[in-house]
């Protein structure tokens, strides 16, 4: 009997941001940065109860403290680093593989017209590229038959097209009212994570 090889590819920050939005809407957290744990295997089992799968969570490498952009950015970098450590600990406990394929960089936005000060912000770079490269590599090496994608980033589309050219099944998993129509249209199957499932997965990770 043919055993289908299933890999779940999760765009980590994209995924956590949408989880945090749901929790803020439900008034369970006040700040999106409070979300640093979720039981992903439990959540996926609600959608794919009989599927045996390898789960990968794609994120940034170790975050360095940023001392050159003022106290606000320094404090944010410390907070991001602490959250990343908690997230990785949670993933390890639940059997999810963390793949560090990107960097967190500081970028400047437009200067304030009134005071001339520059507002610095963090930007995640390279995660989507690393995820897309892995999809293509796994497809070309015949390491995957069923791709389950948790990402709304359109930059991943070329990798999805390559996978489909090789006859791989694509399931796009999104959040209620937050689906990317182009990815949903291209995928063989679209699944939606229900709000109550997301909340329960978060509560399980907090126990």
In a domain, residue 1? The reply is no
Which residues lie closer than 8 Å to 185 by C-beta, 6 or more apart?
Answer: none
DSSP three-state, residue 22: helix
- The pLDDT score that the predictor gives to residue 148 is 98
- The pLDDT score that the predictor gives to residue 116 is 52
pLDDT tens digits, residue range 60-89?
876 554 445 556 556 666 777 788 889 999
Q: Which domain holds residue 112?
A: 6-206
Q: With a cut of 70, which residues of the chain have pLDDT below it? A: 1-2, 62-77, 103-125
User: CA 22, CA 9: separation in Å to the nearest integer?
Assistant: 21
In a domain, residue 13? The reply is yes
- The pLDDT score that the predictor gives to residue 83 is 82
Phi, psi of 13 (to 5 degrees): -65, -40
At 173, list the tokens: 């998993």
CATH code (residue 40): 3.40.50.1010
CA atoms within 13 A on the CB side of 82: 9
What DSSP character marks residue 32? G
- The pLDDT score that the predictor gives to residue 65 is 47
């Amino acid at each position: 009997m043919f055993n289908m090889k299933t890999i779940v590819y999760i765009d980590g920050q994209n995924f956590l941001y949408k989880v945090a939005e749901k929790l803020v809407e439900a008034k369970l957290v006040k700040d999106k940065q409070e979300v640093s744990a979720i039981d992903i295997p439990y959540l996926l089992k609600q959608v794919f109860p009989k599927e045996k799968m390898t789960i990968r969570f794609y994120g940034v490498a170790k975050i360095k403290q940023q001392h050159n952009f003022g106290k606000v950015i320094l404090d944010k970098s410390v907070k991001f680093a602490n959250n990343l450590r908690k997230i990785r600990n949670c993933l390890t406990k639940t059997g999810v593989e963390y793949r560090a394929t990107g960097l967190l960089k500081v970028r400047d936005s437009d200067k304030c017209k009134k005071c001339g000060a520059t507002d610095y912000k963090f930007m995640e770079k390279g995660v989507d590229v690393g995820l897309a490269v892995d999809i293509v590599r796994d497809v070309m090496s015949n390491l995957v038959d069923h791709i389950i994608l948790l990402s709304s980033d359109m930059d991943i589309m070329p990798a999805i097209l390559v996978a489909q050219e090789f006859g791989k099944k694509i399931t796009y998993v999104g959040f209620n009212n937050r689906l990317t129509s182009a990815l949903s249209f291209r995928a063989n199957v679209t699944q939606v994570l229900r709000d109550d499932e997301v909340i329960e997965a978060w509560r399980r990770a907090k126990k």
